[in-house]
Structure 1
Amino acid sequence: MSSTQAPLRLRSNRVSVPRRADIDGLRAFAIVLVVIYHVWLGRVSGGVDVFLLVSAYFLTVSFLRRSNALRPADLVHFWARRFARLIPAAAVTIFGVLGFAAAFLPGSQWQSIWTQAWASLFYVQNRELSATAVDYYARTEVFPSILQHFWSLSVQGQVFVLWPILILGAVLLARAFGWTVRTVLTVMFGVLFAVSLAYSVSLTAADQQVAYFSTPARLWEFALGSLAAILLPRLTIPASWSAILGWLGIIALVTCGIVLDVGAGFPGFAALWPTLAAVAIILAGQTDGGREPSSYRFLASAPLRFVGRSAYALYLVHWPVLVGYMTLTDSTNVGFGGGLIVIGISFVTAMLVQRAVELPVGRLMGGLRRNAAIVLASILVVAVPLGAWQLSDGLRVATSSPENNPGAAVLMPWLATRATADAPVVPSSTRLDSDWVELEGPCTGSFRPAGAAAAKTCVQTDPIADAPTFLVIGDSHVQQWLGAVLPILREDGWNVVALLKGGCAFAPGEDATEACVTWRDQAEEYAVAQSADVVMLVGTKAMPMSPDERVPYGLEQRIDALVESGSQVILMRDNPRFDFDMYRCWEDAGSETDCDVAVSDVLADSDPAADLTREGTVYSIDLTEYLCPDGVCTPVVGNVAVFLDDNHLSATYAASLSPAVVAALRLIPGIPLG
């Protein structure tokens, strides 16, 4: 039968899998695509998906070679050896990032970098990024996280722990029942591929940001690589077919990131494009004539072999170099010339890491103890300076004196308070992420809402029997005002309950997601049924750098329902919103006046919520004079940062507003507060 009649041929069951130079080149080619797409196109290429697949291919091939003699104890040796190869270069990269952060990044970014450095070091960065991606309260940085690219290495590291366990289980199962290891592995990885792909498609449709960093949603890519390692070596194809197949695969890889929005559509069905292209390239190398096709020779060429020697290091360093360059030039567009600089520095740095770290470590590697010592020493390279840095910052914050930071109290003449000159401003830049007002815990007992969406967002203070109830409902803007009233409520012995959902306005006419609509409807049902003594809402909505402040659409309907249920309503005027990060501006400028904004530029001339007031039931409180004293919104008052970012008050400053709230409440008849 001619080769044209039999495009695929099956080899013997006993197939040794030699090291394939073209697959090494494929991995290097994928990394080059990642770098080019990141630097010049500002897009995701799909090269990382190939990188993950190829890593599973090599891992599976490695275990197949010794499957007949595989023992449980071998896994410990494998893990020690594998991570002794991976962690040193990663640790050096993280150490360099920490040094860059200390020298060039503002303190408001340090906390997230510290957290991500630990997460990257211990291969859980994907989980950290996933949590941050869905956290409404996470600070939005000007540039991407400098350690963001460690998500894929974390997924890979987790699979390097899981895969040997699965393979060992398959080997033991095959021995117990007299089956072939390849058959058991084929079934196992086939099922894993199908289940993970189905989960990936479902999760990508439901929450793509979470899916992108999810290990279970990525397992099918590794399973596909393992299936390729098990099945493809038994197949051969004619040289004429392999050349076409190989180049089609290469072209598909190059164009994937251009045709598909990888960053927004992966890892669902769309990720089959680059992974199947990689499988096609691997299959293209299985020729029956002994002569490698042109695609094979391209991937096994000297330039790609050269890149391949430092491909891992290149992936490690290119992203920090890119983000570092953007930070230093204060631009998210590096341009062609800047891109050449970034790529050049990345290649040079990668070669230095490869020659100064990877090669020496490789020569030091040996038995289990030596490899474990390498892993431990590498971890300490990051853990010691990072821990010391965090400890010193914590000591600095702990030794600061509250008397030096009166905040808004300096604007209240009846308190006769003055700020200490040159005292450190609070919250410190490294404490911004945690400077939100929080209550003791989730709602329980009679305070727990019946609706699941509302119950999930309900928090309360420790309950006090027969005490009046103060209910707070809304998004992050009412949460921040809770910080101003909470000290008063605690002192006067009230129960405090809050239904808080970031980014979700309580007013029914405001734009909202389906989840938000469900939540706010349940919140209204809860508030009406609860009949709290007082309900606090945000009565206006400020617009960024605009005086077009207004009442939230449909808020009157909510107020009517609350009043009819027997509650009194307090409407807090919204705080100013800007088109820049006020804290970051002060941090960069080093001056309290360089970031000043006239209040007339960001708020209406008078409180729009004043028109909603009703004698005896609905009241409005306007504290603008304490946010923007003398008609100017400024980043720092009384040695306290007024704003966390571009539109939120710091909890520290909100707490300092309590005396002003007391003064306002004393003018409200019928509310026994203050």
Structure 2
Amino acid sequence: MSSPQATLRVRRRVDAPAPRRADIDGLRAFAIVLVVVYHVWLGRVSGGVDVFLLVSAYFLTASFLRRSNILRPADLVVFWARRFGRLVPAAAVTIFGVLAFAAAFVPGSQWQSIWAQSWASLFYVQNRELSATAVDYYARTEVFPSFLQHFWSLSVQGQVFVLWPILILAAVLITRASGWAVRTVATVMFGTIFVISLAYSVQLTAADQQVAYFSTPARLWEFALGSLAALLFPRLTLPVRLSALLGWVGIVALVTCGIVLDVGAGFPGFAALWPTLAAVAIILAGQTARPESSSSYRFLASKPLRFVGSSAYALYLVHWPVLVGYMTLTDSTNVGLGGGLIVIAISFIAAMIVQRTVELPIGRLMGGLRRNTVIVVTSILVVVVPLGAWQVADGVRTATSSPESNPGAAVLMPWLATRATIDAPVVPSSTRLDADWVELDGACQGAFQPVGTEVASTCVQTEPVAGAPTFLVIGDSHAQQWLGAVLPILRDEGWNVVALLKGGCAFAPGEDATEACGTWREQAEDYAATLAADVVMLVGTKAVPMRPEERVPVGLEQRVDALAESGSQVILMRDNPRFDFDMYRCWEESGSDGSCDVPVSTLLAQENPADGLTKEGAVYSLDLTEFVCPDGVCTPVVGNVAVFLDDNHLSATYASSLSPAVEAALQLIPGIPLG
């Protein structure tokens, strides 16, 4: 009868997987090369990242399985410290490099997004950040993508590196309590995860593909598939010829995945089975008595791929920021053949530098739990200290603005005798631009709460004032911006303010609309009739970018007549000019040299089209163009305030500075009890 020690040795030999396979290391390198090539020249997703995720689970599961007989809960902390001690330093250096590049070459209007994604990438939640901010992973031709967008997969992988050891330990504990084989328990566990996650992935991809792409639960099946390969394949042995055939089928399938499939519309879902099963075929192909005799094995284990594999992680980290940096410097999303070669060359050089100056030295420094934890914390501080200091400095600079230094449109109103401080910083600052929108106090409630579900989700109001008159605003984002010009007056005079605001959906019934927008219009009309607000404000015209073809929105007169008949006074705001370029970005790049200025005569009609809808005692038009484009010229900055947020919206800061002009205009309108 054998001793317990002998039994333990036998079980270790049985559970131990085959020695680390050069072909799987080559597969990982090959996948990264595909990712780089597809990103640089094809602007598509290759499926290589899916392979990378699967292979990481394969190695992770095999490693824990080898030590399953001696695995303890305390080992998990040691594993996490060691694993993230290897991953975080190179990632932190990459994020630091992105921040440095952004500070030097990226307009400030993009800094806020880069800051948020730097924090998210550093702490492995970038996939959630991208999903929350509705980033389109495929929209390269419209805007430059994020420098850190590719960290979504590293974030998913990092989250799984926390979860997977817990699951494997659970399988081990179940084994010890039940006496079942650890492979059997783990196979059932990861098989269940595979089925549930794949089903969820298919459902979510059909419902919201963009969210599904970044979703960790929708990706767990890919990791589970890698774990199943680690559990089941080591006991299989294939004939050499079948091995070679299976290997080349997997390689060809992997190369062609991004070309054949519409990855942008179908991943992850069923479509992601293509690259992952291709990787499974390649892994299975290596299960032969003489793997080196297989041509596919020799290809994946070749010196070039082993060379790439040594810096594969670093290459993945740096290639995307290098690509986006090149786009930024050349101001083009099309890198071309020559540009692509430059991007790839720089990426390989940067990857080797990161590997030799960060990864290898850190690897030699690693040791016990305490030392590895210090490495992780120190690496995090490499990003946290400069990023935090940058944000604090920007906040201090923004806090120095004041109405005296930044009067905006007030400098155009002689009766105010206001002058702007010379050389004062322009507000809103570029890092506060995205937040510079008019906001009310909260969702509509009580007597102001709409009945229709579509319109209820878009209804906002100020804190209710009992017995006070009501001011209602209906429309899209342009109605929202003009609300900023009247809101200071309404707050001072104690009015109730209610707004129905749906972006991209004009209140006029004849304008193009989605089904949801059409429903919203009908419900908004019913709400206005029921509410019978004292004053209703609408946008009375619609400007055309860079053309003087301004017009009344189709069908608006019907809405205006109905509102007037209900007893409400109606104000029709004239639309602001629209451009075919980002006015704020133009100012960032060119300053106040006049290159961004546009004559208003080329942007708006000679006469206000909304004047034709006015009715004495009921409907009035309000035109603030002279305070938006002074002296007949639209400029990006007036009174140290940015006039425009983008190519067609006023900044909330500037809209607010228009309120004295609005008040003066309202004093001339006898039917409106304001001002």
TM over 0.5: same fold? yes
Instruction: Using the TM superposition, give the Cα deviation of residue 202 of structure 1 relative to its aligned residue in structure 2, in angstroms.
Output: 2.2
Which residue matches 1:590?
A: 591
Instruction: Using the TM superposition, give the Cα deviation of residue 343 of structure 1 relative to its aligned residue in structure 2, in angstroms.
Output: 0.8
In structure 1, give the amino acid aligned to 2:649. H
In structure 1, give the amino acid aligned to 2:120. A
Instruction: Using the TM superposition, give the Cα deviation of residue 384 of structure 1 relative to its aligned residue in structure 2, in angstroms.
Output: 0.4
What is the aligned-residue RMSD (CA, Å)? 2.1
Q: For 2:38 and 2:546, locate their aligned partners in 1 and report how far apart those are by CA, in whole Å.
A: 35
Which residue matches 2:79?
A: 78
Instruction: Using the TM superposition, give the Cα deviation of residue 511 of structure 1 relative to its aligned residue in structure 2, in angstroms.
Output: 3.1
Matches within 5 A, 1:108-507: 108-133=109-134, 142-289=143-290, 291-507=292-508
Q: For 2:180 and 2:507, locate their aligned partners in 1 and report how far apart those are by CA, in whole Å.
A: 62
Q: For 2:184 and 2:531, locate their aligned partners in 1 and report how far apart those are by CA, in whole Å.
A: 62
Kept in 2, the 8 Å contact 1:108–1:429? The answer is yes
Other structure's SS at 2:479 match: helix
Q: For 1:197 and 1:220, locate their aligned partners in 2 and report how far apart those are by CA, in whole Å.
A: 6
Kept in 2, the 8 Å contact 1:35–1:343? The answer is yes
Instruction: Using the TM superposition, give the Cα deviation of residue 116 of structure 1 relative to its aligned residue in structure 2, in angstroms.
Output: 1.0
Which residue matches 1:5?
A: none
Which residue matches 1:3?
A: none
Which residue matches 2:546?
A: 545
Q: For 1:461 and 1:164, locate their aligned partners in 2 and report how far apart those are by CA, in whole Å.
A: 51
In structure 2, give the amino acid aligned to 1:668. I
Q: Deviations over 1:497-528 (max 9, x none)?
A: 22223233333333333443444443333333
Q: For 2:402 and 2:96, locate their aligned partners in 1 and report how far apart those are by CA, in whole Å.
A: 33
Instruction: Using the TM superposition, give the Cα deviation of residue 106 of structure 1 relative to its aligned residue in structure 2, in angstroms.
Output: 1.4
Instruction: Using the TM superposition, give the Cα deviation of residue 265 of structure 1 relative to its aligned residue in structure 2, in angstroms.
Output: 2.6
Q: For 2:451 and 2:46, locate their aligned partners in 1 and report how far apart those are by CA, in whole Å.
A: 46
Q: For 1:563 and 1:499, locate their aligned partners in 2 and report how far apart those are by CA, in whole Å.
A: 18
Kept in 1, the 8 Å contact 2:408–2:638? The answer is yes
Which one is further off, 493-502 or 342-351? 493-502
Q: For 2:516 and 2:219, locate their aligned partners in 1 and report how far apart those are by CA, in whole Å.
A: 26
The ranges of structure 1 where at least 4 consecutive aligned residues each deviate by more than 6 angstroms after the TM superposition are none
Cα distance change on mapping 1:516 and 1:318 into 2, 3 Å: same
Q: For 1:63 and 1:292, locate their aligned partners in 2 and report how far apart those are by CA, in whole Å.
A: 30
Instruction: Using the TM superposition, give the Cα deviation of residue 188 of structure 1 relative to its aligned residue in structure 2, in angstroms.
Output: 2.2
Which residue matches 2:579?
A: 578
Which residue matches 1:609?
A: 610
Q: Deviations over 1:262-321 (max 9, x none)?
A: 233311222221111111111111124555421111111110000001000001111111
Q: For 1:219 and 1:168, locate their aligned partners in 2 and report how far apart those are by CA, in whole Å.
A: 17
Which residue matches 1:87?
A: 88
Kept in 2, the 8 Å contact 1:474–1:537? The answer is yes
Cα distance change on mapping 1:156 and 1:336 into 2, 3 Å: same
Which one is further off, 625-634 or 190-199? 190-199
Kept in 1, the 8 Å contact 2:584–2:644? The answer is yes
Q: For 1:537 and 1:292, locate their aligned partners in 2 and report how far apart those are by CA, in whole Å.
A: 77
Q: For 1:370 and 1:65, locate their aligned partners in 2 and report how far apart those are by CA, in whole Å.
A: 25
Q: For 1:141 and 1:379, locate their aligned partners in 2 and report how far apart those are by CA, in whole Å.
A: 33
Q: For 1:540 and 1:569, locate their aligned partners in 2 and report how far apart those are by CA, in whole Å.
A: 14
Question: Number of matched residues?
Answer: 660
Instruction: Using the TM superposition, give the Cα deviation of residue 665 of structure 1 relative to its aligned residue in structure 2, in angstroms.
Output: 1.8
Q: For 1:181 and 1:510, locate their aligned partners in 2 and report how far apart those are by CA, in whole Å.
A: 65
Instruction: Using the TM superposition, give the Cα deviation of residue 565 of structure 1 relative to its aligned residue in structure 2, in angstroms.
Output: 4.0
Q: Deviations over 1:370-422 (max 9, x none)?
A: 11111100000000011111111111111233201111111122222222222
Q: Deviations over 1:72-118 (max 9, x none)?
A: 22111111111111000000011111111111111111111111111
Structure 1 vs Structure 2: percent identity of aligned residues?
Answer: 83
Kept in 2, the 8 Å contact 1:239–1:291? The answer is no
Kept in 2, the 8 Å contact 1:15–1:234? The answer is no
Instruction: Using the TM superposition, give the Cα deviation of residue 246 of structure 1 relative to its aligned residue in structure 2, in angstroms.
Output: 1.3
Instruction: Using the TM superposition, give the Cα deviation of residue 662 of structure 1 relative to its aligned residue in structure 2, in angstroms.
Output: 1.1
Instruction: Using the TM superposition, give the Cα deviation of residue 26 of structure 1 relative to its aligned residue in structure 2, in angstroms.
Output: 0.8
Which one is further off, 78-87 or 414-423? 414-423
Other structure's SS at 2:133 match: helix
TM-score w.r.t. length of structure 1: 0.94
TM-score w.r.t. length of structure 2: 0.94
In structure 2, give the amino acid aligned to 1:318. H
Unaligned runs of 5+ in 1: 1-11
Kept in 1, the 8 Å contact 2:15–2:66? The answer is no
Q: For 2:553 and 2:198, locate their aligned partners in 1 and report how far apart those are by CA, in whole Å.
A: 43
Instruction: Using the TM superposition, give the Cα deviation of residue 607 of structure 1 relative to its aligned residue in structure 2, in angstroms.
Output: 2.2
Which one is further off, 305-314 or 198-207? 198-207
Q: For 1:520 and 1:189, locate their aligned partners in 2 and report how far apart those are by CA, in whole Å.
A: 50
Q: Deviations over 1:618-658 (max 9, x none)?
A: 32222111111122111011111100111111111000010
Cα distance change on mapping 1:72 and 1:530 into 2, 3 Å: farther
Cα distance change on mapping 1:567 and 1:94 into 2, 3 Å: same
Q: For 2:176 and 2:557, locate their aligned partners in 1 and report how far apart those are by CA, in whole Å.
A: 72
Unaligned runs of 5+ in 2: 1-12
Which residue matches 2:5?
A: none
Q: For 1:509 and 1:64, locate their aligned partners in 2 and report how far apart those are by CA, in whole Å.
A: 66
Q: Deviations over 1:193-218 (max 9, x none)?
A: 22222222222222222222122222
Cα distance change on mapping 1:613 and 1:232 into 2, 3 Å: farther
Instruction: Using the TM superposition, give the Cα deviation of residue 558 of structure 1 relative to its aligned residue in structure 2, in angstroms.
Output: 3.4
In structure 1, give the amino acid aligned to 2:384. A
Q: For 1:314 and 1:641, locate their aligned partners in 2 and report how far apart those are by CA, in whole Å.
A: 40
Cα distance change on mapping 1:518 and 1:376 into 2, 3 Å: farther
Other structure's SS at 1:673 match: coil
Cα distance change on mapping 1:580 and 1:622 into 2, 3 Å: same
Which residue matches 1:659?
A: 660
Q: Deviations over 1:579-614 (max 9, x none)?
A: 111011011012251101121222222222222233
In structure 2, give the amino acid aligned to 1:606. E
Other structure's SS at 2:51 match: helix
Cα distance change on mapping 1:196 and 1:556 into 2, 3 Å: farther
Instruction: Using the TM superposition, give the Cα deviation of residue 141 of structure 1 relative to its aligned residue in structure 2, in angstroms.
Output: 8.3
In structure 1, give the amino acid aligned to 2:257. C
Which residue matches 1:625?
A: 626
Other structure's SS at 2:350 match: helix
Other structure's SS at 2:404 match: helix
Q: For 2:555 and 2:206, locate their aligned partners in 1 and report how far apart those are by CA, in whole Å.
A: 31
Q: For 2:124 and 2:39, locate their aligned partners in 1 and report how far apart those are by CA, in whole Å.
A: 22
Q: For 1:441 and 1:500, locate their aligned partners in 2 and report how far apart those are by CA, in whole Å.
A: 13
Instruction: Using the TM superposition, give the Cα deviation of residue 178 of structure 1 relative to its aligned residue in structure 2, in angstroms.
Output: 2.9
Other structure's SS at 2:498 match: strand
Q: For 1:320 and 1:132, locate their aligned partners in 2 and report how far apart those are by CA, in whole Å.
A: 19
